[in-house]
Amino acid sequence: MTTSLLATTSLLIRRCALAAATALVIALAVQTPALAQKVALFVNGEPITTYDIEQRSKFIQLANHKTPSRHEVVDELIDEKLKLQVAKRYQLDVTDKEVDAAFGDMAKRMRMSSEQLGQVLANGGTSAGTLKSRLKSDLAWQQIVRGKFQSSLQIREKDVLEAMETGNKKSDASTAGPAAGYEYTLRPILFVVPRNSAAGVVEARTREAEALRARFQNCDEGIPYARAIKDVAVRDTIRKNSADLPQALRDILDKTPTGKLTAPEVTQHGVEVFALCGKHEASAENAPGRREMRDQMFAQQFQSKAKRYLQELRRGAMIERFE
């Protein structure tokens, strides 16, 4: 059998399947017209209902604070169907547990519980299920794209450094390369506070930490002195590169003189300070912003591959509209 004949046969089979699905909808329409109105379109034989469109429209309006066009909503739902269909083709199963975890993470970023986020959605006229459906397709899609284009999504360190250098030159013509990175040598010092202690206890330990900070001149003498304080734990030396730290923490360490302590910070275990025992210029590979640049470059490549692949799926899809 020739390739042309195979393609023709495959197309006929798909058309027959779609015709059968359409016939079923028509048969239902004769019996229950209200039910027929709920099917807006088929995507490769799978229905998208008017209820789906209504729910997604309300969700987008709630999330973006503007009313989307029907075309935008339908396009999003078609893309969602295609993503889940290709995941099924690759036998990729995103479990309810994974979806619930992603839903919970989103709620935490919004400083809510999962139940509170669900209530916010309900108040907006939509449901948690609408968001979870979107999350499920996104989770599946990320895995599909990463797996399918794994080799071409590799980011070389050379390319990262070149991009950083180009960015620095654009922002400052006098900059010859990436900003200098540093390796910090730190000793965490914890003033232990028992759980459920009164606020006064925390305040007293904070004052002790400030007193130590005032007399701490260098690590050689200051560390033994800190160890002698009651209920104080001096932890092992840790080393961190600029590239591994968020900007806020880099700013704190850069403002702290070598041999001194950072300002006290209340944690779940007590009041903590860090002794900056060393600060050395690191190689360009550990320059600040390296991780951010790599993530940005990966995101750009990922989006480009994902967009082209989704367009390919759309071109091969059989989409039958009833409205």
Instruction: For residues 134 and 80, give the distance between their C-alpha atoms in angstroms, rounded to a whole number.
Output: 7
The pLDDT of residue 16 is: 46
Closest CA to 60 of 51, 77, 49, 73: 73
Which phi and psi (to 5°) does residue 187 adopt?
-125, 110
The least confident of 28-32, 66-70, 82-86, 172-176 is 28-32
pLDDT per residue over 240-291, tens digit each? Answer: 887 777 777 888 888 999 999 999 999 888 999 999 999 887 655 555 567 7
Confidence of residue 178 (pLDDT cuts 50, 70, 90): very low
Beta bridge partners of 167: none
CB distance 129 to 121 below 8 Å:
no
pLDDT at residue 20 tops 80: no
Contact 80, 137 (CB under 8 A): yes
**Position with higher pLDDT, 129 vs 22:** 129
Nearest CA among 255, 189, 254, 197 for reference residue 225:
189
Integer Cα distance of 60 and 261 in angstroms: 48
Q: What is the mean pLDDT of residues 38-44?
A: 93
pTM of this prediction? 0.56
2 — pLDDT class (breaks 50, 70, 90): very low
Give strand pairing partners of 271.
191, 266
